Structure 1
Amino acid sequence: MKLYPIETGNFKLDGGAMFGVVPKTIWNKTNPADENNLIDIGARCLLIEEGNRLILIDTGMGNKQSEKFFGYYSLWGSHSIDKSLAKYGFHRDDITDVFMTHLHFDHCGGSIQWNKDKTGYEPAFKNAKFWTNDNHWQWATQPNAREKASFLSENILPMQESGQLHFIKRPEGDFLNQSELDFGIYFVDGHTEKMMIPHIQYQGKTIVFMADLLPTAGHLPLPYVMGYDTRPLLTLPEKAKFLTAAAENNYYLFLEHDAHNEIITVEMTEKGVRQKEVFTCGDILTN
Protein backbone atom coordinates (compact mmCIF):
# COMPACT_ATOMS: atom_id res chain seq x y z
CA MET A 1 0.00 0.00 0.00
CA LYS A 2 1.06 3.56 -0.77
CA LEU A 3 -0.56 6.76 0.51
CA TYR A 4 -0.40 10.18 -1.14
CA PRO A 5 -1.68 13.55 0.15
CA ILE A 6 -3.83 15.26 -2.47
CA GLU A 7 -4.08 19.02 -1.94
CA THR A 8 -7.21 20.27 -3.72
CA GLY A 9 -7.08 23.99 -2.89
CA ASN A 10 -7.10 26.19 0.22
CA PHE A 11 -9.82 28.59 1.34
CA LYS A 12 -10.88 30.64 4.35
CA LEU A 13 -13.78 30.45 6.79
CA ASP A 14 -15.06 32.63 9.60
CA GLY A 15 -13.10 31.80 12.73
CA GLY A 16 -16.10 32.25 14.99
CA ALA A 17 -18.12 29.74 12.98
CA MET A 18 -15.22 27.31 13.08
CA PHE A 19 -14.92 27.45 16.88
CA GLY A 20 -18.52 27.87 18.00
CA VAL A 21 -18.80 29.13 21.59
CA VAL A 22 -15.02 29.46 22.12
CA PRO A 23 -13.97 33.15 22.39
CA LYS A 24 -11.75 34.59 19.69
CA THR A 25 -9.14 35.60 22.29
CA ILE A 26 -8.55 31.87 22.80
CA TRP A 27 -8.83 30.31 19.33
CA ASN A 28 -6.92 33.17 17.68
CA LYS A 29 -3.75 31.91 19.40
CA THR A 30 -3.74 28.66 17.40
CA ASN A 31 -5.72 29.71 14.30
CA PRO A 32 -4.98 33.41 13.73
CA ALA A 33 -7.64 35.37 11.87
CA ASP A 34 -7.16 38.06 9.24
CA GLU A 35 -8.80 41.49 9.29
CA ASN A 36 -12.09 39.93 8.15
CA ASN A 37 -12.07 37.34 10.96
CA LEU A 38 -11.25 34.58 8.44
CA ILE A 39 -8.88 31.71 9.21
CA ASP A 40 -6.85 29.52 6.85
CA ILE A 41 -8.52 26.25 5.88
CA GLY A 42 -7.04 23.39 3.86
CA ALA A 43 -8.72 20.78 1.66
CA ARG A 44 -6.20 17.96 1.99
CA CYS A 45 -7.51 14.70 0.58
CA LEU A 46 -5.87 11.28 0.61
CA LEU A 47 -5.12 8.81 -2.19
CA ILE A 48 -4.66 5.12 -1.38
CA GLU A 49 -2.86 2.92 -3.91
CA GLU A 50 -3.32 -0.76 -3.16
CA GLY A 51 -3.13 -3.48 -5.77
CA ASN A 52 -5.19 -2.40 -8.77
CA ARG A 53 -7.26 0.09 -6.77
CA LEU A 54 -6.74 3.82 -6.45
CA ILE A 55 -9.04 5.11 -3.71
CA LEU A 56 -9.48 8.86 -3.26
CA ILE A 57 -10.88 10.04 0.07
CA ASP A 58 -12.84 13.29 -0.45
CA THR A 59 -12.41 15.63 -3.41
CA GLY A 60 -12.52 19.23 -2.14
CA MET A 61 -14.78 21.98 -3.51
CA GLY A 62 -14.17 21.41 -7.19
CA ASN A 63 -14.21 24.27 -9.69
CA LYS A 64 -17.70 24.33 -11.20
CA GLN A 65 -19.35 26.87 -8.90
CA SER A 66 -19.76 30.53 -9.81
CA GLU A 67 -17.24 33.29 -9.16
CA LYS A 68 -19.71 34.73 -6.64
CA PHE A 69 -19.84 31.41 -4.77
CA PHE A 70 -16.06 31.10 -4.53
CA GLY A 71 -15.87 34.76 -3.48
CA TYR A 72 -17.45 33.77 -0.18
CA TYR A 73 -14.55 31.44 0.58
CA SER A 74 -11.49 33.55 -0.30
CA LEU A 75 -9.57 30.87 -2.20
CA TRP A 76 -5.80 31.09 -1.83
CA GLY A 77 -2.71 29.19 -2.92
CA SER A 78 -2.00 27.26 -6.12
CA HIS A 79 -3.12 23.75 -5.23
CA SER A 80 -5.50 21.76 -7.42
CA ILE A 81 -6.60 18.15 -7.50
CA ASP A 82 -5.22 17.64 -11.01
CA LYS A 83 -1.79 19.03 -10.14
CA SER A 84 -1.67 16.94 -6.97
CA LEU A 85 -2.55 13.74 -8.82
CA ALA A 86 -0.06 14.50 -11.57
CA LYS A 87 2.69 15.01 -8.97
CA TYR A 88 2.47 11.29 -8.23
CA GLY A 89 1.95 10.20 -11.84
CA PHE A 90 -1.83 9.81 -11.74
CA HIS A 91 -4.83 11.17 -13.63
CA ARG A 92 -8.50 11.45 -12.70
CA ASP A 93 -9.30 8.57 -15.03
CA ASP A 94 -7.04 6.27 -13.00
CA ILE A 95 -9.18 6.59 -9.86
CA THR A 96 -11.19 3.43 -9.17
CA ASP A 97 -13.04 4.57 -6.04
CA VAL A 98 -14.03 7.91 -4.52
CA PHE A 99 -14.90 7.64 -0.83
CA MET A 100 -16.76 10.64 0.58
CA THR A 101 -16.62 11.16 4.33
CA HIS A 102 -19.80 13.21 3.92
CA LEU A 103 -21.50 15.24 1.21
CA HIS A 104 -20.91 18.84 2.29
CA PHE A 105 -19.71 20.83 -0.72
CA ASP A 106 -16.13 21.30 0.51
CA HIS A 107 -15.71 17.52 0.74
CA CYS A 108 -17.45 16.25 -2.40
CA GLY A 109 -17.71 19.21 -4.82
CA GLY A 110 -14.75 17.94 -6.81
CA SER A 111 -16.53 14.65 -7.51
CA ILE A 112 -18.77 16.24 -10.17
CA GLN A 113 -17.87 18.61 -13.00
CA TRP A 114 -19.51 20.42 -15.89
CA ASN A 115 -19.89 18.47 -19.11
CA LYS A 116 -18.00 19.77 -22.15
CA ASP A 117 -20.60 22.32 -23.29
CA LYS A 118 -21.70 23.25 -19.75
CA THR A 119 -25.27 22.12 -20.28
CA GLY A 120 -25.19 19.65 -17.41
CA TYR A 121 -23.02 17.75 -14.97
CA GLU A 122 -21.00 14.55 -15.10
CA PRO A 123 -18.70 12.56 -12.80
CA ALA A 124 -15.21 14.06 -12.61
CA PHE A 125 -13.87 10.50 -12.18
CA LYS A 126 -15.46 8.58 -15.01
CA ASN A 127 -14.07 5.17 -14.03
CA ALA A 128 -14.71 5.37 -10.29
CA LYS A 129 -17.32 4.06 -7.91
CA PHE A 130 -18.61 6.77 -5.56
CA TRP A 131 -19.07 5.63 -1.95
CA THR A 132 -21.32 7.06 0.78
CA ASN A 133 -23.83 5.41 3.13
CA ASP A 134 -27.60 5.19 2.86
CA ASN A 135 -28.43 7.21 5.99
CA HIS A 136 -26.19 10.07 5.00
CA TRP A 137 -27.43 9.99 1.40
CA GLN A 138 -31.02 10.42 2.57
CA TRP A 139 -29.95 13.19 4.96
CA ALA A 140 -28.11 15.02 2.16
CA THR A 141 -30.78 14.65 -0.52
CA GLN A 142 -33.58 15.73 1.83
CA PRO A 143 -31.63 18.41 3.71
CA ASN A 144 -32.76 20.33 6.76
CA ALA A 145 -32.89 24.12 6.50
CA ARG A 146 -29.68 24.54 8.53
CA GLU A 147 -27.54 22.36 6.25
CA LYS A 148 -29.25 23.02 2.93
CA ALA A 149 -26.56 25.47 1.80
CA SER A 150 -23.90 22.79 2.34
CA PHE A 151 -25.68 20.02 0.42
CA LEU A 152 -25.69 21.23 -3.19
CA SER A 153 -27.79 19.06 -5.50
CA GLU A 154 -25.38 19.56 -8.41
CA ASN A 155 -22.64 17.92 -6.29
CA ILE A 156 -24.76 14.99 -5.23
CA LEU A 157 -27.52 13.85 -7.58
CA PRO A 158 -25.29 13.32 -10.66
CA MET A 159 -23.50 10.54 -8.76
CA GLN A 160 -26.73 8.57 -8.63
CA GLU A 161 -27.79 9.52 -12.15
CA SER A 162 -24.46 8.22 -13.51
CA GLY A 163 -25.00 4.77 -12.01
CA GLN A 164 -21.65 5.06 -10.19
CA LEU A 165 -23.07 5.52 -6.68
CA HIS A 166 -22.56 2.78 -4.06
CA PHE A 167 -23.39 2.52 -0.38
CA ILE A 168 -21.13 1.32 2.42
CA LYS A 169 -22.82 -1.36 4.53
CA ARG A 170 -23.13 0.12 8.00
CA PRO A 171 -22.44 -1.86 11.18
CA GLU A 172 -24.76 -2.32 14.15
CA GLY A 173 -22.55 -0.07 16.29
CA ASP A 174 -20.45 2.96 15.43
CA PHE A 175 -17.33 1.18 14.11
CA LEU A 176 -16.93 -0.96 11.01
CA ASN A 177 -13.72 -2.99 11.24
CA GLN A 178 -13.37 -3.58 7.51
CA SER A 179 -15.40 -1.86 4.83
CA GLU A 180 -15.79 -2.63 1.14
CA LEU A 181 -12.64 -0.52 0.69
CA ASP A 182 -10.60 -2.59 3.15
CA PHE A 183 -10.25 0.04 5.86
CA GLY A 184 -12.11 0.59 9.12
CA ILE A 185 -14.69 3.36 9.53
CA TYR A 186 -15.89 5.24 12.63
CA PHE A 187 -19.43 6.56 12.09
CA VAL A 188 -20.30 9.82 13.86
CA ASP A 189 -23.43 11.97 13.93
CA GLY A 190 -22.50 15.22 15.67
CA HIS A 191 -21.29 17.14 12.62
CA THR A 192 -23.82 15.62 10.25
CA GLU A 193 -25.68 12.32 9.97
CA LYS A 194 -23.34 9.31 9.66
CA MET A 195 -20.13 11.07 8.70
CA MET A 196 -17.45 8.42 8.09
CA ILE A 197 -13.93 8.58 9.55
CA PRO A 198 -11.53 6.14 7.78
CA HIS A 199 -8.94 4.20 9.82
CA ILE A 200 -6.16 2.95 7.51
CA GLN A 201 -3.53 0.41 8.52
CA TYR A 202 -0.24 1.49 6.97
CA GLN A 203 3.29 0.27 7.73
CA GLY A 204 2.44 -0.61 11.32
CA LYS A 205 0.62 2.67 11.91
CA THR A 206 -3.05 3.60 12.06
CA ILE A 207 -3.65 6.65 9.85
CA VAL A 208 -7.01 8.30 10.61
CA PHE A 209 -8.53 10.68 8.07
CA MET A 210 -10.18 13.20 10.38
CA ALA A 211 -12.68 14.96 8.06
CA ASP A 212 -14.72 17.31 10.29
CA LEU A 213 -14.46 15.37 13.56
CA LEU A 214 -11.19 17.27 14.16
CA PRO A 215 -10.95 20.06 11.57
CA THR A 216 -7.63 21.49 12.80
CA ALA A 217 -5.10 20.84 15.55
CA GLY A 218 -6.57 23.87 17.29
CA HIS A 219 -9.82 21.96 17.84
CA LEU A 220 -8.34 19.32 20.19
CA PRO A 221 -9.95 20.54 23.47
CA LEU A 222 -13.36 18.87 23.76
CA PRO A 223 -15.51 22.04 23.91
CA TYR A 224 -13.88 23.40 20.75
CA VAL A 225 -16.73 22.33 18.46
CA MET A 226 -17.62 24.01 15.19
CA GLY A 227 -20.71 26.15 14.91
CA TYR A 228 -21.39 24.14 11.74
CA ASP A 229 -22.04 20.94 13.72
CA THR A 230 -25.73 20.09 13.67
CA ARG A 231 -25.66 18.23 17.01
CA PRO A 232 -22.75 19.57 19.07
CA LEU A 233 -23.80 17.65 22.19
CA LEU A 234 -23.28 14.47 20.18
CA THR A 235 -19.93 15.70 18.89
CA LEU A 236 -18.62 15.94 22.46
CA PRO A 237 -18.86 12.22 23.38
CA GLU A 238 -17.90 11.11 19.84
CA LYS A 239 -14.81 13.30 19.96
CA ALA A 240 -13.96 12.22 23.53
CA LYS A 241 -14.23 8.54 22.64
CA PHE A 242 -12.10 8.93 19.55
CA LEU A 243 -9.38 11.11 21.10
CA THR A 244 -8.99 8.73 24.04
CA ALA A 245 -8.48 5.86 21.59
CA ALA A 246 -6.10 8.00 19.50
CA ALA A 247 -3.94 8.75 22.54
CA GLU A 248 -3.96 5.16 23.81
CA ASN A 249 -3.18 3.66 20.40
CA ASN A 250 -0.88 6.37 19.01
CA TYR A 251 -3.03 7.05 15.96
CA TYR A 252 -1.64 9.37 13.30
CA LEU A 253 -4.32 11.98 12.63
CA PHE A 254 -4.44 13.18 9.03
CA LEU A 255 -5.95 16.68 9.18
CA GLU A 256 -8.06 17.50 6.15
CA HIS A 257 -8.81 21.13 7.01
CA ASP A 258 -5.67 22.29 8.82
CA ALA A 259 -3.73 24.32 6.26
CA HIS A 260 -0.57 24.35 8.39
CA ASN A 261 -0.50 21.08 10.36
CA GLU A 262 -0.73 17.97 8.18
CA ILE A 263 -0.50 15.00 10.55
CA ILE A 264 -0.42 14.97 14.36
CA THR A 265 -0.31 12.49 17.20
CA VAL A 266 -1.90 13.12 20.60
CA GLU A 267 -1.37 12.19 24.24
CA MET A 268 -3.35 12.25 27.45
CA THR A 269 -2.44 15.13 29.79
CA GLU A 270 -3.91 16.55 32.98
CA LYS A 271 -5.90 18.93 30.74
CA GLY A 272 -7.21 16.11 28.58
CA VAL A 273 -6.00 14.90 25.19
CA ARG A 274 -3.53 17.32 23.65
CA GLN A 275 -1.12 17.44 20.72
CA LYS A 276 2.02 15.33 21.04
CA GLU A 277 3.93 15.57 17.75
CA VAL A 278 3.44 17.23 14.38
CA PHE A 279 4.50 15.63 11.10
CA THR A 280 4.42 16.54 7.45
CA CYS A 281 2.88 14.04 5.06
CA GLY A 282 6.38 13.46 3.73
CA ASP A 283 7.48 12.29 7.17
CA ILE A 284 4.83 9.58 7.39
CA LEU A 285 3.45 8.80 3.93
CA THR A 286 4.99 7.55 0.68
CA ASN A 287 6.95 10.19 -1.25
Structure 2
Amino acid sequence: MKLYPIESGNFKLDGGAMFGVVPKTIWNKTNPADNNNLIDLAARCLLIEDGNRLILIDTGMGDKQSEKFFGYYSLWGTHSMDKSLAKHGFHRDDITDVFMTHLHFDHCGGSVQWNQDRTGYEPAFKNAKFWTNENHWEWATKPNPREKASFLSENILPMRESGQLHFIKRPDGDFLVESEMGFGIFFADGHTEKMMLPQIKYKDMTVCFMADLLPTAGHLPLPYVMGYDTRPLLTLPEKEKFLRTAAENNYYLFLEHDAHNEIITVENTEKGVRLKEVHKCADLL
Protein backbone atom coordinates (compact mmCIF):
# COMPACT_ATOMS: atom_id res chain seq x y z
CA MET A 1 0.00 0.00 0.00
CA LYS A 2 1.07 3.58 -0.73
CA LEU A 3 -0.52 6.87 0.29
CA TYR A 4 -0.34 10.14 -1.65
CA PRO A 5 -1.61 13.59 -0.60
CA ILE A 6 -3.72 15.13 -3.37
CA GLU A 7 -3.99 18.91 -3.14
CA SER A 8 -7.18 19.83 -5.00
CA GLY A 9 -7.05 23.57 -4.24
CA ASN A 10 -7.04 26.21 -1.52
CA PHE A 11 -9.78 28.58 -0.42
CA LYS A 12 -10.82 30.84 2.46
CA LEU A 13 -13.74 30.94 4.86
CA ASP A 14 -14.88 33.29 7.59
CA GLY A 15 -12.85 32.58 10.71
CA GLY A 16 -15.81 33.21 13.00
CA ALA A 17 -17.90 30.60 11.20
CA MET A 18 -15.00 28.15 11.37
CA PHE A 19 -14.62 28.54 15.14
CA GLY A 20 -18.21 29.03 16.29
CA VAL A 21 -18.44 30.57 19.77
CA VAL A 22 -14.67 30.92 20.23
CA PRO A 23 -13.63 34.63 20.19
CA LYS A 24 -11.42 35.89 17.39
CA THR A 25 -8.83 37.08 19.92
CA ILE A 26 -8.20 33.40 20.67
CA TRP A 27 -8.50 31.60 17.32
CA ASN A 28 -6.63 34.32 15.44
CA LYS A 29 -3.44 33.19 17.21
CA THR A 30 -3.44 29.82 15.45
CA ASN A 31 -5.44 30.66 12.31
CA PRO A 32 -4.71 34.32 11.49
CA ALA A 33 -7.39 36.09 9.48
CA ASP A 34 -6.96 38.59 6.66
CA ASN A 35 -8.60 42.01 6.54
CA ASN A 36 -11.91 40.39 5.55
CA ASN A 37 -11.84 38.01 8.53
CA LEU A 38 -11.08 35.07 6.22
CA ILE A 39 -8.67 32.26 7.13
CA ASP A 40 -6.58 30.04 4.85
CA LEU A 41 -7.98 26.57 4.18
CA ALA A 42 -7.01 23.59 2.05
CA ALA A 43 -8.93 20.88 0.23
CA ARG A 44 -6.34 18.16 0.79
CA CYS A 45 -7.53 14.78 -0.44
CA LEU A 46 -5.82 11.42 -0.02
CA LEU A 47 -5.05 8.74 -2.61
CA ILE A 48 -4.61 5.12 -1.54
CA GLU A 49 -2.81 2.74 -3.90
CA ASP A 50 -3.63 -0.75 -2.69
CA GLY A 51 -3.04 -3.57 -5.13
CA ASN A 52 -5.23 -2.98 -8.16
CA ARG A 53 -7.29 -0.30 -6.40
CA LEU A 54 -6.72 3.45 -6.46
CA ILE A 55 -9.02 4.93 -3.81
CA LEU A 56 -9.42 8.71 -3.70
CA ILE A 57 -10.79 10.14 -0.45
CA ASP A 58 -12.79 13.31 -1.15
CA THR A 59 -12.46 15.44 -4.28
CA GLY A 60 -12.52 19.11 -3.24
CA MET A 61 -14.76 21.76 -4.82
CA GLY A 62 -14.12 20.93 -8.46
CA ASP A 63 -14.28 23.64 -11.10
CA LYS A 64 -17.78 23.54 -12.59
CA GLN A 65 -19.43 26.22 -10.43
CA SER A 66 -19.84 29.82 -11.54
CA GLU A 67 -17.32 32.60 -11.08
CA LYS A 68 -19.77 34.21 -8.66
CA PHE A 69 -19.92 31.01 -6.57
CA PHE A 70 -16.15 30.68 -6.32
CA GLY A 71 -15.92 34.39 -5.52
CA TYR A 72 -17.48 33.64 -2.13
CA TYR A 73 -14.56 31.36 -1.24
CA SER A 74 -11.54 33.45 -2.31
CA LEU A 75 -9.66 30.67 -4.11
CA TRP A 76 -5.88 30.99 -3.89
CA GLY A 77 -2.75 29.07 -4.85
CA THR A 78 -1.99 26.91 -7.86
CA HIS A 79 -3.06 23.44 -6.69
CA SER A 80 -5.51 21.36 -8.71
CA MET A 81 -6.74 17.77 -8.73
CA ASP A 82 -5.22 16.95 -12.13
CA LYS A 83 -1.83 18.50 -11.39
CA SER A 84 -1.60 16.76 -8.05
CA LEU A 85 -2.54 13.37 -9.48
CA ALA A 86 -0.03 13.83 -12.32
CA LYS A 87 2.70 14.70 -9.82
CA HIS A 88 2.39 11.15 -8.47
CA GLY A 89 2.07 9.55 -11.91
CA PHE A 90 -1.72 9.14 -12.05
CA HIS A 91 -4.68 10.35 -14.11
CA ARG A 92 -8.26 10.69 -12.94
CA ASP A 93 -9.23 7.81 -15.27
CA ASP A 94 -6.99 5.54 -13.19
CA ILE A 95 -9.13 6.02 -10.07
CA THR A 96 -11.13 2.89 -9.20
CA ASP A 97 -12.97 4.22 -6.14
CA VAL A 98 -13.98 7.66 -4.85
CA PHE A 99 -14.79 7.61 -1.14
CA MET A 100 -16.64 10.68 0.07
CA THR A 101 -16.48 11.50 3.78
CA HIS A 102 -19.67 13.49 3.26
CA LEU A 103 -21.42 15.35 0.46
CA HIS A 104 -20.82 19.02 1.31
CA PHE A 105 -19.67 20.85 -1.81
CA ASP A 106 -16.06 21.35 -0.66
CA HIS A 107 -15.67 17.60 -0.19
CA CYS A 108 -17.46 16.16 -3.24
CA GLY A 109 -17.77 18.96 -5.82
CA GLY A 110 -14.86 17.54 -7.77
CA SER A 111 -16.64 14.21 -8.18
CA VAL A 112 -18.83 15.62 -10.98
CA GLN A 113 -17.97 17.76 -13.99
CA TRP A 114 -19.64 19.35 -17.01
CA ASN A 115 -20.09 17.06 -20.00
CA GLN A 116 -18.24 17.91 -23.19
CA ASP A 117 -20.81 20.34 -24.62
CA ARG A 118 -21.76 21.75 -21.18
CA THR A 119 -25.38 20.70 -21.47
CA GLY A 120 -25.31 18.53 -18.36
CA TYR A 121 -23.11 16.79 -15.83
CA GLU A 122 -21.13 13.55 -15.70
CA PRO A 123 -18.84 11.79 -13.21
CA ALA A 124 -15.36 13.31 -13.21
CA PHE A 125 -13.87 9.84 -12.59
CA LYS A 126 -15.41 7.74 -15.32
CA ASN A 127 -14.00 4.38 -14.18
CA ALA A 128 -14.65 4.78 -10.46
CA LYS A 129 -17.25 3.58 -8.01
CA PHE A 130 -18.51 6.43 -5.81
CA TRP A 131 -18.97 5.56 -2.14
CA THR A 132 -21.16 7.17 0.51
CA ASN A 133 -23.61 5.63 2.97
CA GLU A 134 -27.36 5.34 2.67
CA ASN A 135 -28.20 7.43 5.72
CA HIS A 136 -26.04 10.30 4.59
CA TRP A 137 -27.31 10.06 1.01
CA GLU A 138 -30.90 10.46 2.23
CA TRP A 139 -29.82 13.38 4.41
CA ALA A 140 -28.02 15.10 1.53
CA THR A 141 -30.68 14.57 -1.13
CA LYS A 142 -33.45 15.83 1.16
CA PRO A 143 -31.49 18.61 2.85
CA ASN A 144 -32.60 20.63 5.84
CA PRO A 145 -32.74 24.42 5.32
CA ARG A 146 -29.50 24.97 7.24
CA GLU A 147 -27.40 22.67 5.05
CA LYS A 148 -29.21 23.17 1.76
CA ALA A 149 -26.54 25.56 0.44
CA SER A 150 -23.86 22.92 1.07
CA PHE A 151 -25.67 20.00 -0.60
CA LEU A 152 -25.76 20.97 -4.28
CA SER A 153 -27.79 18.63 -6.46
CA GLU A 154 -25.37 18.98 -9.40
CA ASN A 155 -22.61 17.58 -7.17
CA ILE A 156 -24.63 14.63 -5.97
CA LEU A 157 -27.38 13.34 -8.26
CA PRO A 158 -25.19 12.63 -11.35
CA MET A 159 -23.35 9.97 -9.34
CA ARG A 160 -26.58 8.00 -8.95
CA GLU A 161 -27.77 8.71 -12.49
CA SER A 162 -24.51 7.29 -13.88
CA GLY A 163 -25.01 4.00 -12.04
CA GLN A 164 -21.65 4.45 -10.29
CA LEU A 165 -23.01 5.13 -6.78
CA HIS A 166 -22.47 2.57 -4.02
CA PHE A 167 -23.26 2.52 -0.30
CA ILE A 168 -20.93 1.56 2.53
CA LYS A 169 -22.60 -0.95 4.82
CA ARG A 170 -22.68 0.14 8.47
CA PRO A 171 -23.79 -2.23 11.24
CA ASP A 172 -26.11 -0.45 13.68
CA GLY A 173 -24.51 0.62 16.91
CA ASP A 174 -20.85 0.31 15.92
CA PHE A 175 -18.75 3.47 16.26
CA LEU A 176 -15.84 2.14 14.21
CA VAL A 177 -16.33 -0.49 11.53
CA GLU A 178 -14.13 -2.33 9.08
CA SER A 179 -15.30 -1.68 5.56
CA GLU A 180 -15.13 -3.11 2.08
CA MET A 181 -12.66 -0.32 1.29
CA GLY A 182 -9.93 -2.11 3.23
CA PHE A 183 -9.80 0.44 6.05
CA GLY A 184 -11.75 1.22 9.20
CA ILE A 185 -14.38 3.95 9.29
CA PHE A 186 -15.27 6.17 12.24
CA PHE A 187 -18.84 7.47 11.91
CA ALA A 188 -19.68 10.91 13.31
CA ASP A 189 -23.02 12.72 13.36
CA GLY A 190 -22.21 16.11 14.89
CA HIS A 191 -21.08 17.91 11.74
CA THR A 192 -23.63 16.24 9.49
CA GLU A 193 -25.45 12.91 9.40
CA LYS A 194 -23.07 9.90 9.21
CA MET A 195 -19.86 11.62 8.16
CA MET A 196 -17.21 8.92 7.59
CA LEU A 197 -13.58 9.23 8.70
CA PRO A 198 -11.17 6.61 7.27
CA GLN A 199 -8.59 5.00 9.56
CA ILE A 200 -5.82 3.44 7.50
CA LYS A 201 -3.18 1.00 8.72
CA TYR A 202 -0.06 2.14 6.89
CA LYS A 203 3.46 0.89 7.57
CA ASP A 204 3.66 1.08 11.37
CA MET A 205 1.15 3.92 11.64
CA THR A 206 -2.58 4.50 11.84
CA VAL A 207 -3.39 7.41 9.53
CA CYS A 208 -6.76 9.06 10.18
CA PHE A 209 -8.40 11.26 7.57
CA MET A 210 -10.05 13.93 9.72
CA ALA A 211 -12.50 15.60 7.30
CA ASP A 212 -14.57 18.08 9.35
CA LEU A 213 -14.29 16.50 12.78
CA LEU A 214 -10.94 18.30 13.12
CA PRO A 215 -10.65 20.86 10.30
CA THR A 216 -7.33 22.38 11.44
CA ALA A 217 -4.80 21.95 14.21
CA GLY A 218 -6.26 25.09 15.74
CA HIS A 219 -9.50 23.19 16.44
CA LEU A 220 -7.97 20.74 18.92
CA PRO A 221 -9.54 22.12 22.15
CA LEU A 222 -12.94 20.49 22.60
CA PRO A 223 -15.09 23.66 22.57
CA TYR A 224 -13.51 24.80 19.29
CA VAL A 225 -16.38 23.55 17.15
CA MET A 226 -17.36 24.99 13.79
CA GLY A 227 -20.48 27.09 13.41
CA TYR A 228 -21.25 24.84 10.43
CA ASP A 229 -21.86 21.78 12.62
CA THR A 230 -25.53 20.81 12.71
CA ARG A 231 -25.31 19.20 16.15
CA PRO A 232 -22.41 20.86 18.02
CA LEU A 233 -23.31 19.22 21.33
CA LEU A 234 -22.92 15.85 19.62
CA THR A 235 -19.61 16.87 18.04
CA LEU A 236 -18.16 17.38 21.53
CA PRO A 237 -18.34 13.74 22.74
CA GLU A 238 -17.42 12.41 19.27
CA LYS A 239 -14.39 14.67 19.14
CA GLU A 240 -13.42 13.85 22.74
CA LYS A 241 -13.62 10.10 22.15
CA PHE A 242 -11.67 10.28 18.92
CA LEU A 243 -8.91 12.57 20.20
CA ARG A 244 -8.47 10.61 23.42
CA THR A 245 -8.02 7.43 21.38
CA ALA A 246 -5.68 9.23 18.97
CA ALA A 247 -3.48 10.45 21.84
CA GLU A 248 -3.36 7.04 23.51
CA ASN A 249 -2.46 5.24 20.28
CA ASN A 250 -0.31 7.89 18.61
CA TYR A 251 -2.55 8.18 15.55
CA TYR A 252 -1.35 10.35 12.68
CA LEU A 253 -4.10 12.83 11.87
CA PHE A 254 -4.29 13.82 8.20
CA LEU A 255 -5.82 17.31 8.11
CA GLU A 256 -7.97 17.95 5.08
CA HIS A 257 -8.57 21.66 5.66
CA ASP A 258 -5.43 22.92 7.38
CA ALA A 259 -3.49 24.83 4.72
CA HIS A 260 -0.31 24.95 6.81
CA ASN A 261 -0.28 21.75 8.89
CA GLU A 262 -0.60 18.53 6.89
CA ILE A 263 -0.35 15.73 9.46
CA ILE A 264 -0.25 16.03 13.25
CA THR A 265 0.00 13.82 16.31
CA VAL A 266 -1.59 14.71 19.65
CA GLU A 267 -1.00 14.02 23.33
CA ASN A 268 -2.90 14.16 26.60
CA THR A 269 -2.08 17.19 28.79
CA GLU A 270 -3.57 18.79 31.89
CA LYS A 271 -5.62 21.01 29.57
CA GLY A 272 -6.86 18.07 27.49
CA VAL A 273 -5.64 16.69 24.18
CA ARG A 274 -3.20 19.08 22.54
CA LEU A 275 -0.79 19.22 19.63
CA LYS A 276 2.28 16.99 19.92
CA GLU A 277 4.08 17.11 16.58
CA VAL A 278 3.52 18.46 13.06
CA HIS A 279 4.66 16.38 10.07
CA LYS A 280 4.90 16.89 6.33
CA CYS A 281 3.22 14.30 4.11
CA ALA A 282 6.43 13.97 2.15
CA ASP A 283 8.27 12.84 5.29
CA LEU A 284 5.76 10.17 6.34
CA LEU A 285 3.83 8.88 3.34
Question: TM-score if structure 2 supplies the norm length?
Answer: 0.99
1:31-110 matches, within 5 Å, as 31-110=31-110
Task: Say yes or no: does 1:246 pair with 2:246.
Answer: yes
Partner of 1:132: 132
CA distance in 2, matches of 1:38, 1:98: 30
1:204 is displaced (CA, Å) by: 1.3
Which structure 2 segments of 5+ residues have no match? none
Check conservation: 1:170, 1:176, Cα contact below 8 A. no
Q: Contact 2:170–2:177 at 8 Å: present in 1 too? A: no
Partner of 2:143: 143
Tell me if structure 2 keeps the 8 A contact 1:175–1:184: no
Q: How far apart are 1:178 and its partner, in Å?
A: 1.6
Aligned to 1:21: 21
- 2-structure distance, mates of 1:172, 1:45: 28
Q: After superposition, what is the alpha-carbon deviation per residue over 1:182-206, rounded to whole angstroms, capped at 9, x for unaligned?
A: 1000000000000001000000100
**Contiguous gaps of at least 5 residues in structure 1:** none
| Coordinate RMSD, CA, aligned | 0.5
Query: Does the 8 Å contact 1:92/1:124 carry over to 2?
Result: yes
Shift of residue 268 of structure 1?
0.1
| Amino acid in structure 1 at the alignment position of 2:199 | H
Instruction: Determine the C-alpha separation between the residues in 1 that align with 2:127 and 2:27.
Output: 42
Equivalent position amino acid for 1:230 in 2:
T
Partner SS, residue 187 of structure 2: strand
Q: What SS does the corresponding residue of 1:221 show, helix, strand or coil?
A: coil
User: Aligned pair count?
Assistant: 285
Following TM superposition, by how much is the alpha carbon of 1:124 offset from its aligned partner in structure 2, in angstroms? 0.2
The Cα shift of 1:276 comes to: 0.2
Partner Cα separation in structure 2 for residue 170 and residue 37 of structure 1? 39
> Displacement of 1:150 after TM fit?
0.1
How far off is 1:227 after superposition? 0.1
Question: d(CA) in 2 for partners of 1:154 and 1:90?
Answer: 26
Instruction: Give 1:218 shift.
Output: 0.0
Which residue does 2:256 correspond to in 1? 256
Aligned to 1:40, what secondary structure does the other structure show? strand
* Letter of the 1:262 counterpart: E
Counterparts of 2:175 and 2:182 in 1: how far apart (Å)? 13
Q: Report sequence identity in percent.
A: 86
CA-CA distance at 1:172 after TM superposition: 2.1
Q: Which amino acid aligns with 1:80?
A: S
Q: CA deviation digits over 1:148-189, x for unaligned, max 9?
A: 000000000000000000000012224343201010000000
